[in-house]
Structure 1
């Protein structure tokens, strides 16, 4: 199971790296063309925007793993140990329900938008809006993988410097 989790995290990390690299290349090429030839790529801004959407939704689970999202712990800190575990379990369950609902809503929304196309790329909007159910599905998977240590000890799956990068010591 640990090996599958490592592969899952590495694949998710590589997807984010590829998306960020594509954004960098597209925007960099567009800037270069604009200054060198006085012409720009008409689709570059749109492509970068949609890649940013995909990167945001796809990377949210990786941030969740390390406790990088905003959290207010005042209530948890005032509770005894058993109360803290119960609160963390309730938070985990609430998040799973919310993420599942957002997967459902995202699928519904993407299906409704499938017949519209983007202005410059002429791409079906289903590919843009699919980022929402995919991202929330990834959030559910990451949450389930860190749920036990989070609920029992309040810890996250923090990676050291070599594990954080795909291809690191355990990647």
Structure 2
């Protein structure tokens, strides 16, 4: 796989691939647990734990995917009352606050993972060191920040901007 192909995949499919994998793992584990409990009257504790990890990973990678697809939840009723230039300014200001929050979460998430590196905290069923699954939190907040900055970089480079406040059928903000 060439570097340009890998970068193209990262820019277009990274979050969605990890979301699909996480959701499939979660769904299969929950289905397995239902079958084991109600048909065989048994359980697999590892499947419950793996389903929880799958759910958590799908939530965090899903938020990053929503940023990539420009479909993250925004409260736009007030913004749409203003003229376009002011509305764009409000959205940019909101994104700046959002990035600041993401940086805050990355910083504190890394601090938390550092604490886990200093302790020996193993999950009960799978025997996984908790620092690995917990690292998804700062990683995904950093990924969201990267995707937001990538969006603004493309806007500055090309001069076209498709904000989430643009409804289907509207012209993109320029």
TM-score by length of 2: 0.75
Q: Helix, strand or coil: the match of 1:14?
A: helix
CA–CA distance in structure 2, aligned partners of residues 152 and 94 of structure 1: 22
Alignment-derived partner of residue 170 in structure 2: none
Residue 52 (str. 1) matches residue 55 (str. 2): yes
Unmatched segments (≥5 aa) in structure 2: 167-174
**Inter-partner Cα distance in structure 1 for 2:9 and 2:95:** 21
Matching residue of 2:124: 119
C-alpha spacing 1:44/1:98, structure 2 compared with 1 (3 Å): same
Paired with 1:133 and 1:24, the residues of 2 have a C-alpha distance of: 25
What CA RMSD, in Å, does the superposition of the two structures yield over aligned residues? 2.7
- Counterpart for residue 163 of structure 1: none
Query: 1:65-104, aligned counterparts within 5 Å?
Result: 65-104=68-107
Shift, 1:25, TM fit: 1.9
- Does residue 140 of the first structure (1) align with residue 148 of the second (2)? no
Return the match for 2:46 from 29, 43, 46: 43
- Give SS of 2:121's match: coil
> 1:5·1:145 contact (CA, 8 Å) conserved in 2?
no
Report the CA distance between 1:97 and its aligned residue.
1.5
Q: How many residues align?
A: 156
Moved over 6 A (4+): none
> How far 1:67 sits from its partner (Å)?
4.3
